[in-house]
Amino acid sequence: MTQLLAPPPTQKERQKQASVQIEKIPVKGYEQVLKVTDKKAGLTAIIAIHDTTLGPALGGIRIYPYASFQDALEDVLRLSRGMTYKAAVNEVGFGGGKSVIIADPKTEKTPELLLSFGTAVEMLQGAYICAEDVGFTLDDARTVLQATRYVVGTPHAKSSGDPAPFTAWGTFRGIQSAAKKLFGSDALEGKVVAVQGLGSVGAHVVDHLFWAGAELIISDIDTAKAEQLAARYHARTLPADQILKAECDILVPCALGGIINDQTIPQFRCKAIAGCANNQLLRDAHGNALRDRGILYAPDFVINAGGLLNVAAELEENGYNPKLPRYKAHHIYDTLLAIYEIAEKNRESTHAAALALAEYRIKYAIGKRVFPPIFHHSAE
């Protein structure tokens, strides 16, 4: 006997059936902070829309087993605000948002949970556009797409694909900007550059540095990977607990956040820090401490925007063209040089100068999106 399969529910039907609850959490300085729950699907999540002056909020979904709801709230507030600044300073044409799902991505991530979260995103009608982040994979994005069109980075004909090469190119240009500021020339020939973390972005950065003629010191907790790249690029390796203390011209953090802190600052033996890792300063004040030590710092949310620029390009009217994010990532160099100059004139840290520049652009709506984003996956 043939059994006829029922067609999958449409987005509208799913919304009607959904048991998603959305509750507003008032937070000063944020446009919308929403607690999203669905008992049936085992979902507890928070969506934070920090600022949409320049465009809809764009930011990743982080799935992480936070110890408490308060921890998750603090993280999503910090991350969504960071997205606003990253997008504003690099004229991405989007606002800042982020979401967190409180769950262990290894054991608690089910299709029901992802679909329920996607339903909540759909209910916001495009105010928040979600993307990949820690604990959330491309396959998960494909699942979420069944519940909402407001998702980027899913595989399709006009998809932006892997952001890492774009982040790496922006980071390399940021390293060049540091060299220009320090030595009056962006040539890296013979300059000693130490790279922490040889993952998706770090390995690409090392490749660019090699071809630019830098003397490389590299490190990864995966020592086999470090040895393999060291052989390919004739680099020196250092153990993971030594790399931040390496004597070098430019230190390039491409692994973890919080690596610029009270313990590490006195130990640095570099002239500049310019890497892609997110949230490198443990606290804002550590930007001042670096300045006091005479170490030039390329603010992380400026130098690492290549991946965001790439994914945003997927929503252009004519679909994704890699030349646009390549061009914009290339100009991270100029943005950073401007930030170094503003910081010097105002006698403040480069981190403070970058924040002020982002706030200025938001205040005067510089780089505000003119055309609405187009979701090409829904046209397929």
Stretch that binds ligand NAD, among 92-100, 150-158, 177-185, 253-261 (CB under 6 A): 253-261
**Site for ligand NAD contains 82 (CB under 6 A):** no
Q: Which amino acid is at 369?
A: R
Q: Which of 196, 237, 349, 350 binds ligand NAD (CB under 6 A)?
A: 196
Of the two residues 14 and 66, which places its CB atom closer to ligand NAD in the complex? 66
Rounded to a whole number of angstroms, the minimum distance from the CB of residue 380 to ligand NAD is 25
Residue 220 touching ligand NAD (CB under 6 A) = yes
Stretches 46-54, 180-188, 191-199, 355-363: which one binds ligand NAD (CB under 6 A)?
Answer: 191-199
The only residue of 37, 200, 228, 264 in contact with ligand NAD, by rule CB under 6 A: 200
> What is the closest distance, in whole angstroms, from the C-beta atom of residue 322 to ligand NAD in the complex?
14
Which residues, 6+ apart, have CB-to-CB distance to 161 below 8 Å?
A: 155, 310
Contact window for ligand NAD (CB under 6 A) among 215-223, 284-292, 333-341, 344-352: 215-223
H helical segments located in the chain: 11-17, 69-89, 111-123, 138-145, 164-183, 200-211, 223-233, 285-292, 300-303, 306-313, 323-330, 332-346, 350-363
For tokens 């809809």, name the residue. 56
User: DSSP letter string over 34-91?
Assistant: EEEEETTTTEEEEEEEEE-SSSSEEEEEEEE--SSHHHHHHHHHHHHHHHHHHHHHTT
Count residues contacting ligand NAD (CB under 6 A)?
24
Q: Which of 72, 83, 178, 255 contacts ligand NAD by CB under 6 A? A: 255
Single residue of 113, 250, 254, 312 touching ligand NAD by CB under 6 A: 254
Q: Which residue numbers are catalytic?
A: 98
Q: Is 105 in the site for ligand NAD (CB under 6 A)?
A: no
What is the smallest separation between the CB atom of 21 and ligand NAD, expressed in angstroms?
A: 31
Residue 346: CB minimum distance to ligand NAD, A: 27
Q: Tell me how far apart the 2 most distant CA atoms of the chain are, in Å.
A: 80
Which one of 105, 199, 258, 319 is in contact with ligand NAD (CB under 6 A)? 199
Taking CB under 6 A as the binding criterion, the range among 107-115, 175-183, 272-280, 362-370 that sits at the site for ligand NAD is: 272-280
* Cα–Cα dist 95/135, whole Å: 23
Rounded Cα distance between 14 and 118, Å, is 10
> Among candidates 298, 308, 275, which has minimal Cα distance to 209?
275
Residue from 22, 25, 123, 221 binding ligand NAD (CB under 6 A):
221
| Residue 160 in contact with ligand NAD, rule: CB under 6 A | no
CA distance 321 to 310: 9
**Shortest Cβ 222–ligand NAD spacing (Å):** 5
User: Residue 79 interacts with ligand NAD (CB under 6 A)?
Assistant: no
User: Taking CB under 6 A as the criterion, which residues in 287-326 touch ligand NAD?
Assistant: 304, 307
Q: Which residue has the tokens 């899913």?
A: 154
User: Which of 55, 59, 118, 163: binder of ligand NAD (CB under 6 A)?
Assistant: 163
Burial of 37 (0-12, 13-18, 19+ CB in 10 A): middle
Nearer to ligand NAD, 170 or 287 (CB): 170
Nearer to ligand NAD (CB atom), residue 115 or residue 309: 309
Q: Is 44 in the site for ligand NAD (CB under 6 A)?
A: no
d(CA 198, CA 204): 8
List, in order, residues 6 or more apart from 257 with CB less than 8 Å away.
Answer: 277, 278, 279, 280
Q: How far is CA 298 from CA 10, 28, 252, 267, 333, in A?
A: 46, 29, 10, 18, 10
Q: By Cβ distance, which residue is nearest to ligand NAD?
A: 199
- Residues between 10 and 39 with contacts to ligand NAD, criterion CB under 6 A: none
Q: How far is CA 322 from the centre of its chain?
A: 18
Cβ atoms of residues 174 and 90 within 8 Å: no
Summarize as ranges the residues that interact with ligand NAD (CB under 6 A).
163-164, 167, 196-202, 219-222, 240, 254-257, 276-278, 304, 307
